[in-house]
């Protein structure tokens, strides 16, 4: 593994038992996990290549408990890593040896649903899909739909600003969150935003969404729910190669069509997904485009036709429109399970998440193929075609020495490629630790320092989820905003990763 | 997921299989959404993904199982919902089975746990002992409050509470002879079901006869081994499997069998897994494969061979799909379709994928969690405003009945009734149509 | 008036001010100068930072310098059949930078999101006089903290944007307004809630004090046609609907509060269901217009007290003092005061960008209070 995590604080490590005792006083019962064997399952998130059992796991059930835990940890200088369902693909929820892992898994309630004002108030541990399940009975749904929606939590979605198939039309998490209750590292509970739109003052909610667990712990979320469209239709369009598929995507957008979802899979991804769902994907195409349109039936009919026309105009070899809701769901099931489904064809995978200008897709795909040959590692591609968000899945075997390093280097090259064509390191999975050291590829020192100053405003002692997102952990004092507590600088010299 | 099993450990087929299962997991977490214990507790250790880690850690390091690992593995219902959910094809069942066996071999449980498990293993697989235990249960009922206060005695309390107020008369065990039978099947005699609910077998025999099947009961057949298997008593389970394979092979090699029909889905899952359980036994591997291939849930068989003509009874049925049927055997549509075919209005509850908490010995050994799951399931079923609750597993029926006011019957009872059989005992109270 | 020509000029100006303790007020077109308390500061005009940097219609991305006129931007994208989906509006001379810094959004906000939702990236100068980049030129990006969100609606308090990248979306091929008449605020809200909660995909919903309810249906012709046909049925229990040809002036009033009577202008944001209660609680003589399905209520009156703010707060909302006589603006803060913890946090965040308070001009009194809070 080439990514270095912060050197554990020996004093924190040494007082582990005391920390456990103190936390148990706050969260009784089985809410504190300290047995080494029981810490193992917490040692990684969706980025399984990186593992680190946490110092302890604490599973609070109330905001007050979260506040008390953070307050105590803050006073003692103990780091905290928040965790939802541990599905982050960028290591955002990777524990630290000297950090308390704060699991929000017990915050599972949907607190309130206001269908008239179209909002739902949920606890952070409620899964993405569970929000929709809670409101679908009245004809509503929650739009952002990461492929991990069955398991990932709204808290994690907020932290990662997660996207999904529908974010092209309905936006990322940040566009669908109205408010949040956030507990800061010092235990202070703040409410950002609310049931109303656009609070005054600085958009702190906006910066908390996507902060990857570094600014505060989200303990309640107010989301916007949407009326379910009258109709949703999906069409599978197969192309000989990805370049033609990419061109089709560009033309669809250029003609003013913003589909509800537009996804692309390459041959390996198609095969893996078909093996899991058995829905009848065309297996003899080079790229498969899944386009979903929703809305009134008339609109869907019209758009389906347009898309078919555009597809043919770009060399589509197969085209299939969903015949009913079940088939549409099945079309998507394979896509949503594409990531884990490659588990069938490869023991391990690294999922990249760059966004590129769609017009550069052919170049990027070509270069990725070259890199694949250079590195000797297969790659299966799944894209959010509509917004240029690539998910190359680098297939490797963790049990083969050196393959992880190769996969990481390959992934880093892919992301550098994305940046070089005018894109970004991550479109929806976050920076985490996975892309941390590549941040200077996209931002200058001044840019990064400015970002870190925001961190310092929320967490001056840098205790909340440290070691993520930013390649160099500066002391807040070095960033020109020093907070001296108890006559001492709070943080010893931080290592350069 | 990366594994570091030492080479010599992989020489053991069970270890090698487990390693393969673990390697398949990509840690995506989908399984957490459908795991009853994770849904209840929110602790990663109580999720399939967490247990995979715990088991990996234990097996990989050849470690003596730690109490935490044992606790969380014990909490697993073996409902196998995770297998249905996993997009990566992780065979959690074989992994947790191996883990339970490993724990049984290498972990020294507290004496009361050992005593309880020994008692369960001694009683439950044997109908005679089961009947005796049920008859003695009322004697222990007054002690239940006291027993609940002593942690070591809670499983005993759960056992007593699970016992019916009255032990029903034994189920018939007459083979069915049908001239010109369309099929010849063996019906699993089972262990708990015939004692707790003899009507199920009766209904099954009637329906199968009506469907034109010759039904036999294999000589020397006994408990499928599921209960002891899930307690990690690998040796006992394999012995049971061998015995049953021999019993059914005798029939197969005799007059032949078209199916081994099972009316308790938990047992069905295990019998279908004989092929894996006995894979390393040269003397039984092939025979087990034959037996597993023949094993079918009664609903599977009927869906395939056709249901006799039915007379709608006008009831709304809340169908509870047993985990061992929907997840373990992947039989999901057949029971619902059969019930609908028979004229019933079938409704499926929210969280249908979640276990009711019965799960074999779970409602004895993990009575608290089982209680929570049972209550939750009953609430979801109540919300359907149905006339009756139907399910395909005796354990689920007993569990749900404890938490619900509605009558609970086996699917086959409703099908039997619709196709000409008597009204199920549990529905006597309903007005005649 | 300082007039930097580029980001480097701007950075130098800010650095000088930081070093010498001077206060700077950023200005685009200056159309929002009367928002906030009267104050003393050197004006920095960003009007000179003008021009289109990059526009790829198919990528749905536009990069412009912040001094570029809003009207020019709108014209540019319209020429490609696209629009700024958050429907900004502004007086003549308004700049895209000012619009974004003010966080303006029109009626479509209720379905398309606010200005913040469409700001993808920027280049700005912090209060330290440092040029920094945040966000990117793609529609999907979660790389690092979402600093553009902080900039949108920051009203020039944390930094000067020199360049910004926004998301553009296709302009609807058809737009139809359906109107209802004579509805009480309660009925109006109910109708709007029903419409917005239906799958007829209403893109905007507003109500005027005269009882008029406006519903906008936009999109491809076949779809618009179908939905316009369906809506009356969906709202049958609430009202009757008719197409309205000349709806622009009505929308203008609902969207901007234009035409309302009174010297004191409030912009109240609140849960839509609370809008009728707000209106009911307004003092006699107050004028109002409702947008965002009830989520925004413009209130105008001559009362120079903060009663409106208190009512809004009690209903789970907040009121901004958009316009008022100078004396009132000096006394009543422009934004509704934050909770103590939020104010302290906001102050720390502001100082992260502007440690010397170069942009803290006294325009927003609560900034000083918050600084005191968190110090």
In percent, the amount of chain C with pLDDT more than 90 equals 52
Domain A346-430 - what CATH class? alpha beta
User: How do beta strands A226-227 and A140-141 pair?
Assistant: antiparallel
Domain A231-339 - what CATH class? alpha beta
**pLDDT at position A483 over 50:** no
Instruction: Check whether residue C86 and residue C166 sit in a common domain.
Output: yes
Check: CB of residue A353 under 8 Å from CB of residue A429: yes
Q: For chain A, which chains pass the contact test of at least 3 CB pairs under 8 Å?
A: B, C
The confidence score (pLDDT) of residue B145 equals 62
* B115/B137 Cα distance (integer angstroms): 17
What are the chain B neighbours of A107 within 8 Å (beta carbons)?
Answer: 42
Is C84 part of a structural domain of the chain?
A: yes
pLDDT digit string (tens) for B248-291? 888 888 888 888 988 888 888 889 889 888 888 888 888 898 88
Q: For chain B, which chains pass the contact test of at least 3 CB pairs under 8 Å?
A: A
Report, as an integer, the average pLDDT of C336-353.
87
* A61/A46 Cα distance (integer angstroms): 24
Same fold, A10-103 and A110-227: no
Would the CB atoms of A348 and B4 count as touching at under 8 Å? no
Q: How far is A191 from chain C (nearest CA, A)?
A: 7
Q: How far is B167 from chain A (nearest CA, A)?
A: 39
Instruction: Check whether residue C227 and residue C203 sit in a common domain.
Output: yes
pLDDT digit string (tens) for C164-222? 999 999 999 999 999 999 999 999 999 999 999 998 989 999 999 999 999 999 999 88
Record the tokens describing residue B280, joined without a space: 């390393």
The confidence score (pLDDT) of residue A93 equals 93
Give the nearest partner residue to C145 out of A207, A251, A301, using CB atoms.
Answer: A207
Give the nearest partner residue to B50 out of A41, A127, A152, using CB atoms.
Answer: A41
Give the nearest partner residue to A340 out of B38, B50, B88, using CB atoms.
Answer: B88
Q: How far is B19 from chain A (nearest CA, A)?
A: 11
DSSP helix/strand/coil, C299: strand
The confidence score (pLDDT) of residue A482 equals 36
Instruction: Check whether residue C140 and residue C280 sit in a common domain.
Output: no
Check: CB of residue A9 under 8 Å from CB of residue A77: yes
Check: CB of residue B318 under 8 Å from CB of residue B349: yes
Angle made by CA atoms C301, C302, C305, in degrees to the nearest 5? 95
Is C144 part of a structural domain of the chain?
A: yes
Instruction: Check whether residue C162 and residue C24 sit in a common domain.
Output: yes
- Which CATH fold would you assign to the domain B9-106? Fumarate Reductase Iron-sulfur Protein; Chain B, domain 2 (1.10.1060)
Helices A297-313, C221-234: crossing angle, 10 deg rounding: 160
**pLDDT at position A470 over 80:** yes
pLDDT, mean over chain A = 87
User: Best of B35, B42, B70, B82 to disrupt the A interface by mutation (most A CBs within 10 Å)?
Assistant: B42
User: How do beta strands C174-180 and C169-170 pair?
Assistant: unpaired
Pick one of 3.40.50.1860, 3.40.50.720, 3.30.450.30, 3.40.50.850 as the CATH number of B308-425: 3.40.50.1860
Instruction: Check whether residue C191 and residue C112 sit in a common domain.
Output: no
Q: Is the ipTM of this complex over 0.85?
A: no
Would the CB atoms of B66 and A48 count as touching at under 8 Å? no
Instruction: Check whether residue C66 and residue C199 sit in a common domain.
Output: no
Spans of all domains in chain A: 10-103, 110-227, 231-339, 346-430
Q: Which of C331, C348, C369 is the last residue of a domain?
A: C331
CATH assignment at residue C271: 3.30.70
Is C367 part of a structural domain of the chain?
A: no
In percent, the amount of chain A with pLDDT more than 90 equals 41
User: Best of C143, C200, C203 to disrupt the A interface by mutation (most A CBs within 10 Å)?
Assistant: C143
DSSP C64-88: EETTSBHHHHHHHHHTTTEE-TT--
Check: CB of residue B68 under 8 Å from CB of residue A38: yes
Report, as an integer, the average pLDDT of C159-166.
94
Torsion, Cα C223 C229 C233 C239, to 10 degrees, reads 110
For the whole model, what pTM was predicted? 0.55
Residue found by looking up tokens 């307050």 in the block:
A71
Is C354 part of a structural domain of the chain?
A: no
C372 C-beta neighbours (distance < 10 Å), count:
11
Where does A110-227 sit in CATH, by number?
A: 3.30.465.10
What are the chain C neighbours of A391 within 8 Å (beta carbons)?
Answer: none
* B170/B186 Cα distance (integer angstroms): 19
pLDDT, mean over chain C = 89
Q: Which of C253, C287, C315 is the last residue of a domain?
A: C253
Instruction: Check whether residue C62 and residue C142 sit in a common domain.
Output: yes
The confidence score (pLDDT) of residue A478 equals 56
Q: Do chains B and C touch (3 or more CB pairs under 8 A)?
A: no
Is C58 part of a structural domain of the chain?
A: yes
* A358/A361 Cα distance (integer angstroms): 5
What are the chain C neighbours of A358 within 8 Å (beta carbons)?
Answer: 58-59
**pLDDT at position B163 over 90:** no
Report, as an integer, the average pLDDT of A433-437.
88
Instruction: Check whether residue C320 and residue C275 sit in a common domain.
Output: yes
Is C355 part of a structural domain of the chain?
A: no
Residue that wins the pLDDT comparison between A431 and B199: A431
pLDDT digit string (tens) for B80-107? 999 888 888 889 999 999 999 899 888 8
User: Best of A48, A337, A339, A343 to disrupt the B interface by mutation (most B CBs within 10 Å)?
Assistant: A343
Torsion, Cα C243 C248 C251 C252, to 10 degrees, reads -170
Instruction: Check whether residue C18 and residue C139 sit in a common domain.
Output: yes
Q: How many domains does chain C have?
A: 3
B21 to each of A447, B399, C150, C171, C239, how far by Cα in Å?
45, 31, 47, 52, 61
**pLDDT at position C35 over 80:** yes
Structural domain that includes position C315: 257-331
What are the chain B neighbours of A342 within 8 Å (beta carbons)?
Answer: 26, 88
Would the CB atoms of A106 and B44 count as touching at under 8 Å? no
Same fold, B9-106 and B308-425: no
Check: CB of residue C330 under 8 Å from CB of residue C353: no
Would the CB atoms of C230 and A227 count as touching at under 8 Å? no
pLDDT digit string (tens) for B22-65? 888 888 888 998 999 999 888 999 999 999 989 988 888 877 88
The confidence score (pLDDT) of residue C370 equals 57
The confidence score (pLDDT) of residue B192 equals 63
Check: CB of residue C142 under 8 Å from CB of residue A157: no
The confidence score (pLDDT) of residue B266 equals 84
Q: How confident is the model at residue A108 (pLDDT cuts 50, 70, 90)?
A: very high
Would the CB atoms of B41 and A337 count as touching at under 8 Å? no
Q: How confident is the model at residue C374 (pLDDT cuts 50, 70, 90)?
A: very low
Q: In what order do the strands lie in the sheet with A261-266?
A: A318-321, A231-239, A287-295, A261-266, A379-384, A389-396, A348-351
**pLDDT at position C23 over 60:** yes
What are the chain A neighbours of B69 within 8 Å (beta carbons)?
Answer: 37-38
Would the CB atoms of C152 and A206 count as touching at under 8 Å? yes
Domain A10-103: CATH architecture, name and number where available: 2-Layer Sandwich (3.30)
The confidence score (pLDDT) of residue B149 equals 65
C305 C-beta neighbours (distance < 10 Å), count:
13
Instruction: Check whether residue C269 and residue C327 sit in a common domain.
Output: yes
* A182/A188 Cα distance (integer angstroms): 8
Check: CB of residue C291 under 8 Å from CB of residue C320: no
Instruction: Check whether residue C23 and residue C133 sit in a common domain.
Output: yes
Range with the largest mean pLDDT of A209-223, B166-180, B182-196:
A209-223
C113 to each of A170, C110, C206, how far by Cα in Å?
10, 6, 16
What are the chain B neighbours of A127 within 8 Å (beta carbons)?
Answer: 33
Instruction: Check whether residue C24 and residue C147 sit in a common domain.
Output: yes
* C100/C97 Cα distance (integer angstroms): 5
Is C338 part of a structural domain of the chain?
A: no
Angle made by CA atoms A43, A44, A45, in degrees to the nearest 5? 145
Q: How far is A393 from chain B (nearest CA, A)?
A: 12
Spans of all domains in chain B: 9-106, 111-162, 308-425
Report, as an integer, the average pLDDT of B206-214.
86
Report, as an integer, the average pLDDT of C117-131.
93
Counting one residue from chain A and one from chain B, the pairs whose CB atoms sit within 8 A come to 135
E strand intervals along B149-199: 183-187
Q: Which of C253, C268, C289 is the last residue of a domain?
A: C253
- Residues for chain C: how many in total? 375
């Amino acid at each position: 593994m080439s990514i270095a995590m912060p050197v554990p604080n020996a004093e924190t490590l040494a007082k582990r038992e005391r920390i456990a005792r103190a936390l148990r006083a706050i969260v009784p019962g089985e809410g504190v996990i300290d047995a080494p064997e029981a810490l193992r399952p917490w040692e990684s998130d969706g980025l399984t290549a990186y593992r680190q059992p946490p110092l302890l796991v604490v599973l609070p059930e109330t905001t007050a408990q979260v506040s008390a835990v953070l307050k105590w940890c803050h006073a003692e200088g103990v780091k905290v890593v928040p965790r939802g369902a541990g599905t982050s693909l960028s290591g955002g929820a990777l524990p630290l040896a000297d950090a308390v892992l704060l699991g929000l898994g017990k915050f599972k309630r949907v607190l309130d649903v206001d269908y008239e004002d179209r909002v739902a108030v949920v606890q952070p541990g409620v899964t993405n899909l569970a929000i929709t399940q809670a409101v679908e009975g009245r004809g509503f749904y929650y739009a952002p739909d990461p492929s991990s929606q069955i398991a990932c939590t709204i808290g994690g979605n907020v932290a990662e600003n997660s996207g999904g198939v529908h974010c092209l039309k309905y936006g990322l998490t940040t566009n669908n969150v109205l408010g949040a209750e956030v507990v800061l590292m010092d235990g202070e509970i703040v409410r950002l935003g609310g049931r109303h739109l656009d609070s005054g003052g600085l958009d702190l909610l906006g910066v908390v969404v996507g902060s990857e667990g570094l600014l505060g712990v989200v303990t309640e979320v107010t989301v916007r729910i949407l009326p379910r469209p009258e109709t949703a239709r999906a069409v599978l369009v197969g192309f000989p190669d990805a370049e033609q598929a990419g061109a089709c995507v560009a033309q669809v957008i250029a003609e003013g069509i913003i589909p509800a979802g537009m996804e692309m899979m390459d041959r390996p991804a198609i095969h893996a997904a078909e093996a899991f769902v058995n829905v009848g994907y065309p297996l003899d195409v080079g790229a498969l485009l899944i386009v979903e349109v929703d809305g009134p039936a008339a609109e869907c009919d019209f758009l389906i036709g347009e898309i078919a026309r555009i597809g043919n105009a770009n060399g589509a070899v197969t085209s299939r429109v969903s015949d009913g809701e079940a088939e549409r769901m099945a079309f998507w099931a394979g896509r949503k399970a594409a990531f884990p489904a490659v588990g069938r064809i490869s023991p391990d995978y690294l999922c990249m998440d760059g966004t590129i200008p769609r017009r550069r897709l052919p170049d990027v795909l070509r270069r990725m193929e070259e890199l694949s040959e250079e590195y000797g590692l297969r790659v299966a591609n799944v894209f959010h075609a509509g917004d240029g968000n690539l998910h190359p899945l680098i297939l490797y075997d963790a049990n083969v020495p050196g393959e992880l390093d190769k996969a990481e280097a390959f992934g880093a090259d892919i992301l550098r490629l994305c940046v070089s064509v005018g894109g970004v390191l991550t479109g929806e999975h976050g920076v985490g630790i996975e892309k941390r050291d590549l941040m200077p590829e996209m931002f200058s020192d001044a840019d990064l320092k400015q970002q870190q100053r925001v961190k310092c405003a929320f967490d001056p002692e840098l205790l909340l989820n440290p070691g993520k997102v930013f390649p160099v952990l500066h002391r807040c004092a070095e960033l020109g905003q020093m907070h001296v507590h108890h006559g001492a600088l709070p943080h010893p010299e931080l290592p350069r990763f | 997921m990366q594994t570091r099993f030492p080479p010599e450990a992989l020489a053991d087929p069970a270890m090698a299989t487990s390693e393969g299962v673990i390697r398949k997991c990509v840690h995506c977490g989908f399984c957490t959404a459908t795991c009853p214990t994770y849904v209840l507790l929110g602790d990663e250790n109580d999720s399939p993904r967490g247990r995979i880690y715990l088991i990996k850690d234990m097996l990989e390091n050849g470690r003596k199982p730690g109490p935490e690992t044992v606790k969380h593995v014990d909490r697993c219902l073996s409902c196998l919902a995770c297998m249905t959910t996993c997009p990566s094809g992780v065979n959690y069942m074989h992994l947790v089975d191996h883990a339970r066996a490993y724990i049984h071999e290498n972990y020294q449980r507290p004496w009361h746990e050992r005593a309880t498990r020994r008692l369960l293993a001694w009683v439950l697989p044997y109908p005679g002992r089961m009947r005796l235990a049920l008859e003695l249960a009322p004697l222990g009922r007054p002690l239940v409050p006291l027993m609940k206060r002593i942690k070591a005695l809670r499983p005993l309390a759960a056992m007593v509470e699970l016992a019916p107020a009255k032990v029903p008369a034994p189920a018939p065990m007459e083979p069915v002879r049908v001239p010109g039978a369309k099929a010849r099947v063996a019906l699993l005699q089972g262990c708990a079901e015939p004692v707790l609910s003899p009507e199920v077998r009766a209904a099954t025999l009637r329906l199968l006869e009506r469907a034109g099947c010759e039904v036999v009961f294999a000589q020397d057949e006994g408990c499928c081994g599921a209960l002891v298997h899930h307690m990690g008593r690998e040796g006992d389970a394999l012995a049971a499997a061998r015995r049953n394979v021999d019993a059914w092979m005798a029939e197969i090699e005799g007059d032949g069998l078209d199916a081994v029909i099972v009316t308790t889905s938990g047992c069905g899952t295990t019998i279908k897994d004989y092929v894996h359980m006995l894979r390393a036994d040269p003397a039984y591997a092939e025979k087990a494969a034959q037996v597993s291939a023949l094993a079918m849930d009664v609903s599977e068989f009927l869906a395939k061979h056709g249901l006799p003509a039915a007379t709608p009874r006008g009831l709304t049925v809340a169908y509870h799909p047993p985990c061992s049927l929907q997840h373990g055997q992947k039989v999901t549509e057949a029971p619902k379709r059969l019930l609908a075919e028979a004229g019933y209005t079938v409704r499926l509850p929210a969280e249908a994928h979640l276990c009711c908490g019965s799960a074999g010995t779970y409602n004895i050994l993990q009575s608290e969690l089982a209680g929570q799951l049972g209550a939750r399931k009953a609430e979801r079923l109540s919300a359907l405003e149905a006339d009756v609750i139907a399910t395909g597993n005796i354990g689920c029926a007993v569990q749900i009945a404890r938490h619900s006011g509605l009558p609970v019957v086996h699917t086959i009872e409703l099908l039997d009734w619709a196709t000409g059989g008597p009204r199920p005992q549990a529905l006597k109270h309903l007005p005649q149509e | 008036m300082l007039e930097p020509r580029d980001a480097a000029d701007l950075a130098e100006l800010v650095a000088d001010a930081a070093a010498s303790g001077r206060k700077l007020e950023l200005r685009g077109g200056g159309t929002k100068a009367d928002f906030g308390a009267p104050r003393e500061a050197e004006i920095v005009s960003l009007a000179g930072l003008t021009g289109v940097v990059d526009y790829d219609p198919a990528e749905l991305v536009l990069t412009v310098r912040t001094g570029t006129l809003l009207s020019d931007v709108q014209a540019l994208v319209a020429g490609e059949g696209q629009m700024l989906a958050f429907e900004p509006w502004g007086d003549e001379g308004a700049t895209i930078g000012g619009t974004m810094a003010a966080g303006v959004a029109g009626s479509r906000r209720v379905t398309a999101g606010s200005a913040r939702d469409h700001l993808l990236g920027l280049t700005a100068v912090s209060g330290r006089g440092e040029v920094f980049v945040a966000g990117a030129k793609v529609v999907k990006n979660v790389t690092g903290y979402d600093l553009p969100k902080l900039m949108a609606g920051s009203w020039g308090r944390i930094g000067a944007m020199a360049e910004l990248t926004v998301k553009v979306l296709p302009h609807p091929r058809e737009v139809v307004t359906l109107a209802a008449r004579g509805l009480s605020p309660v009925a109006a809200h109910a109708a709007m809630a029903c419409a917005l909660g239906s799958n007829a995909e209403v893109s905007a919903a507003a109500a005027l004090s005269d009882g008029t309810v406006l519903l906008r249906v936009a999109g491809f012709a076949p779809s618009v046609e179908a939905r316009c046909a369906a809506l009356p049925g969906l709202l049958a229990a609430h009202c009757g609907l008719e197409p309205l040809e000349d709806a622009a002036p009505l929308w203008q009033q609902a969207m901007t509060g234009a035409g309302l009577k009174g010297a004191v202008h409030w912009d109240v944001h609140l849960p839509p269901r609370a809008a009728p209660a707000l209106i009911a609680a307004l003092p006699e003589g107050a004028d109002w217009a409702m947008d965002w399905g009830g989520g925004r209520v413009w209130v105008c009156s001559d009362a120079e007290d903060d009663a409106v703010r208190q009512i809004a707060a009690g209903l789970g909302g907040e009121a901004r003092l958009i316009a008022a006589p100078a004396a009132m603006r000096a006394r009543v803060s422009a934004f509704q005061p934050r909770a103590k913890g939020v104010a302290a946090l906001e102050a720390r965040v502001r100082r992260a960008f502007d440690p010397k308070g170069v942009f803290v001009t006294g325009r927003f009194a609560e900034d000083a209070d918050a600084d005191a809070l968190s110090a």
